[in-house]
Every structure is written in structure tokens, then in C-alpha cells.
Amino acid sequence: MYLRLDHLYVANIDGYLGKSAATEAAYARLKGLPIITAEEIKTISDEIPLDVQHLIREGIRGSIPIDAISREKLEQLEREAENKPDIELTPEELQSLSRTVVGLIRELSSQKG
């Protein structure tokens, strides 16, 4: 079964984005999906390259606390995002995101096995 998403919601408690969530966010950014967080990102795992951290932050379209999330709030953020221009990724940025995502997925997969 394939799931079609129009955004990624990240439940980043205390503003922290760990390696797994950062991998998902980097993949969403690579695919052009807007990222919505529960809280403003304060820190991202230092295992994520700084250039990728920057690209993840650029992909964030807003925050909605976990206890306030609703379809209406998501639609409101989508409307607000329509007024913000999308930040196009350069070929180098696409390559950096792609390389990072593939590497992190391999690493996370090997830890499970």
C-alpha cells in the first residue's frame, strides 16, 4: 500500500529533531513536501550535516502544537504557505539531500538488523 502525503508533520518534542525525524524531513524536502513541526526547531541531531540541517529548516512551513493539530489548522498553514515562495533546490542541494537520506536510511536499517 502506498500513502500519498501532502506534507510531513514532525512531533519534535522540546524543539529537538533527532536523526530519524531529520531523515524523514530531509526526504520530505527532497520530494518538495512542506514540513510542519509541533514546535519550532531549536536543535537538530549533530549527526545531520549542517548544509542538510539548513535545507530542512528552509522546508518548514509552520508549527502546530500536538494538542492543537486539526485539519483546519493544517489547511490554514497551507493557505499561508501559498503566499510564501517555494525555495528551489539547486542540483548540488538535491545531491546533498539525496546522499544524506540514502546514508541515513542505510545506517538506520543496519541498526535494526
pLDDT confidence bin for 5, thresholds 50/70/90: low
Classified as helix, coil or strand, 2 is: coil
DSSP output for 10-28: E--GGGEE-HHHHHHHHHH
Residues of the chain with pLDDT > 90, as a percent, come to 52
This prediction has a pTM of: 0.83
Inform me whether the pLDDT recorded for 89 exceeds 80.
Answer: yes
The residue-averaged pLDDT of 70-89 equals 79
Instruction: Determine the straight-line distance between the first and last CA of the chain, rounded to whole angstroms.
Output: 23
> Do residues 97 and 89 touch, judged by C-beta distance below 8 A?
yes
pLDDT of residue 25: 94
